[in-house]
Amino acid sequence: MSRDPLALPDRWLHCPKIGSIVEDIFVPFKTPLDERFGVNIPSDGLRWEPKDVFSFSKLRKLEIGAVVDLTNSARYYKPDSFARNNIHVEKIACRGHDESPDEEATARFIDFCSKFRASNPHRRIGVHCTHGFNRTGFLICAYLVEHENWDVRAAVAVFAKARKPGIYKQDYMDDLIKRYGDPDEEEEPIEAPPRPLWEAGNDGAVTSASKAFMEGIPGVSFLDDDSKTSQVQDLTAKLCGYKRQGFPGSQPVSLSRSNMCKLAEAEYRVSWKADGTRYLMLIDGPDDIYFLDRDNAVFKVNGLRFPQRKDIESHLYKTVLDGEMVLDLDGDRKVPRYLIYDIVHIGKDAVGQMPFDIRMNCIFKEIIEPRREAALRGVINMAEEPFALRKKEFYEIEMTEKILAEKFQSQVSHEIDGVIFQPVKLPYISGRCAEILKWKPPHLNSIDFKLKIEKQGCSEGMLPKTIGALYVANHGGPLSYLEKVTPEARALDGKIVECKFKGKGWVIMRERTDKSFPNGYKTAVGVWDSIKYPINQADLLQFIRMRARGSKRKADGDFRAPPPVKQKP
Enzyme catalytic residues: 129, 273
Strand order through the sheet with 88-91: 26-28, 124-128, 64-69, 88-91
Is position 511 annotated in a ligand binding site?
yes
Is position 510 annotated in a ligand binding site?
yes
Is position 324 annotated in a ligand binding site?
yes
Is position 234 annotated in a ligand binding site?
no
Is position 47 annotated in a ligand binding site?
no
144, 127 Cβ separation under 8 angstroms? no
Is position 512 annotated in a ligand binding site?
yes
Burial class (CB in 10 A: 0-12, 13-18, 19+), 241: middle
- Torsion, Cα 521 523 524 526, to 10 degrees, reads 120
Is position 103 annotated in a ligand binding site?
no
Is position 323 annotated in a ligand binding site?
yes
Is position 454 annotated in a ligand binding site?
no
Q: What angle do CA 411, 415, 420 make, to 5 degrees?
A: 90
Phi, psi at residue 165, to the nearest 5°? -90, 10
Is position 163 annotated in a ligand binding site?
no
Is position 392 annotated in a ligand binding site?
no
Give every CB contact of residue 283 below 8 A, 6+ residues apart in sequence.
289, 306, 315, 316, 317, 318, 319, 320, 321
Is position 440 annotated in a ligand binding site?
yes
Chain centroid to CA 533:
29
77, 35 Cβ separation under 8 angstroms? no
Q: For residues 365 and 391, what is the distance between their CA atoms, to the nearest angstrom?
A: 11
- DSSP states along 479-499: SEEBS---HHHHTTTTSEEEE
Chain centroid to CA 515:
8
Give every CB contact of residue 328 below 8 A, 6+ residues apart in sequence.
334, 335, 336, 337, 413, 414
424, 356 Cβ separation under 8 angstroms? yes
Is position 322 annotated in a ligand binding site?
yes
Q: For residues 167 and 156, what is the distance between their CA atoms, to the nearest angstrom?
A: 8
Per the annotation, binding residues are 278, 294, 322-324, 438-440, 510-515
Per the annotation, binding residues for GTP are 278, 294, 322-324, 438-440, 510-515
